[in-house]
């Protein structure tokens, strides 16, 4: 029997708590919000994140971060990517070296450009770290709809522990040792999904979205390989799989935000309406500057950056993409 702490009570952390509770594990969840903790403990609901779900009565929810960490075997980080460093700094004095750290957020740290495993390594250098990624929306996992994930770590034994921990008849977990590729696939697909939403908001068609997804995975792979990832990873679940689901699903907050931008809403109005963290906004900024630094061509990312940060009209950004200099589809092969 393992004891697990889920740090963060958003939709994804909550959905994963259901998976673990249904397998009979001892699960504790931490949230900063006392009202949310009271609601989950007293009414066993989490209406702001998973409104249709009733949680088991044995889920313990606390606002005391120390008690949520001490004595647990596995710590699951389920907070937004830009909060990872802050949370790790809050718990580092309570963590022991035997605890496995699992991150389920998808993003890159603003300012440093670090992957989240690199942030964790800075603060908790002695702990085994696993990232859990793949094409998965919390709303579907919470309803026990068949889903696949990838557990990735530089430590194969740790990734197998997490594979076994989450594996069910409805949740299939694969391992992949390429943590660079898995993390980058999960972070960068949010940029392309934002662009897919813009296309939908403007009123473009399936042809446009297919082109965006296909060329999007191309540039994700290009940046990933330049950062040490394996190209084959981007053909897998944490690459094209996650990209497809995030670009097409009604559950995707990145796509939804893009739709609102495409419809003419301001960024402030968009975030107010989505009401949840849109990881693709920060990821666009980070990836844009990483690509410049590494001299990697990322035209779709550049176009979305121009819309978000330079005030370019979405229609003009699309025209700029379409009117780029002609080239071969496999242009990198001839470099």
- Could you tell me the two tokens for 147? 């889903």
The C-alpha atoms of residue 139 and residue 144 are separated, in whole angstroms, by: 9
Strand order in the sheet with 171-176: 60-62, 26-30, 3-7, 74-77, 100-103, 129-133, 147-152, 171-176
Query: Is residue 197 a contact partner of residue 257, using CB atoms and an 8 Å limit?
Result: yes
Would strands 147-152 and 129-133 be described as parallel, antiparallel, or unpaired?
Answer: antiparallel
The C-alpha atoms of residue 26 and residue 10 are separated, in whole angstroms, by: 19
Catalytic residue among 106, 128, 189, 256: 189
The C-alpha atoms of residue 248 and residue 173 are separated, in whole angstroms, by: 22
Q: Which of 137, 119, 23, 19 is nearest to 77 (CA)?
A: 119
Which residues contact residue 204 at a Cβ distance below 8 angstroms, ignoring those fewer than 6 apart? 318
Alpha-carbon 315 to chain mean position: 27
Give one word for 324, left, alpha or beta, with left for phi > 0 and alpha for psi -120 to 50: beta
Active site residue 92: no
- Torsional sign, CA 27, 33, 37, 39: negative
- Could you tell me the two tokens for 75? 């710590």
Query: Is residue 196 a contact partner of residue 209, using CB atoms and an 8 Å limit?
Result: yes
The pair phi, psi for residue 308, each rounded to 5°, is: -75, -40
Q: How distant, in Å, are the alpha carbons of 190, 200, 206, 208 from that of 321?
A: 19, 16, 17, 12
Catalytic residues: 189
């Amino acid at each position: 029997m393992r004891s697990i702490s889920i740090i963060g009570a958003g939709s994804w952390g909550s959905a994963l708590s259901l998976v673990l509770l249904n397998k009979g594990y001892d699960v504790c969840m931490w949230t900063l919000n006392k009202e949310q903790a009271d609601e989950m403990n007293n009414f066993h609901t989490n209406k702001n994140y998973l409104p249709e779900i009733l949680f088991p009565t044995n889920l313990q929810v606390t606002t005391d971060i120390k008690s949520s960490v001490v004595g647990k075997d596995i710590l699951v980080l389920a907070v937004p990517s830009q909060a990872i460093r802050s949370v790790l700094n809050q718990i580092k004095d309570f963590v022991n070296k035997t605890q496995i750290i699992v991150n389920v957020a998808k993003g890159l740290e603003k300012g440093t450009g670090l992957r989240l495993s690199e942030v964790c390594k800075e603060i908790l250098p002695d702990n085994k770290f696993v990232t859990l990624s793949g094409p998965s929306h919390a709303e579907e996992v919470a309803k026990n709809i068949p889903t696949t994930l990838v557990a990735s770590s530089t430590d194969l034994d740790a990734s197998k522990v997490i594979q076994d921990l989450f594996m069910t008849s409805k949740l299939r977990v694969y391992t992949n040792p390429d943590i660079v590729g898995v993390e980058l696939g999960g972070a960068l697909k949010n940029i392309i999904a934002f662009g897919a939403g813009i296309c939908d908001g403007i009123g473009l068609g399936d042809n446009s979205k297919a082109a965006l997804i296909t060329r999007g995975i191309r540039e994700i792979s290009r940046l990933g390989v330049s950062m040490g990832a394996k190209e084959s990873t981007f053909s897998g679940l944490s690459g094209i799989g996650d990209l497809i689901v995030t670009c097409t699903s009604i559950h995707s907050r990145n796509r939804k935000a893009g739709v609102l931008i495409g419809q003419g809403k301001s960024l402030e109005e968009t975030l107010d309406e989505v009401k949840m963290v849109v990881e693709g906004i920060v990821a666009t900024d980070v990836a844009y500057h990483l690509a410049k630094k590494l001299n990697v061509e990322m035209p779709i990312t550049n176009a979305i950056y121009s819309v978000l940060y330079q005030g370019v009209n979405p229609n003009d950004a699309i025209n700029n993409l379409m009117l780029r200099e002609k080239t071969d589809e496999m242009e990198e092969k001839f470099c």
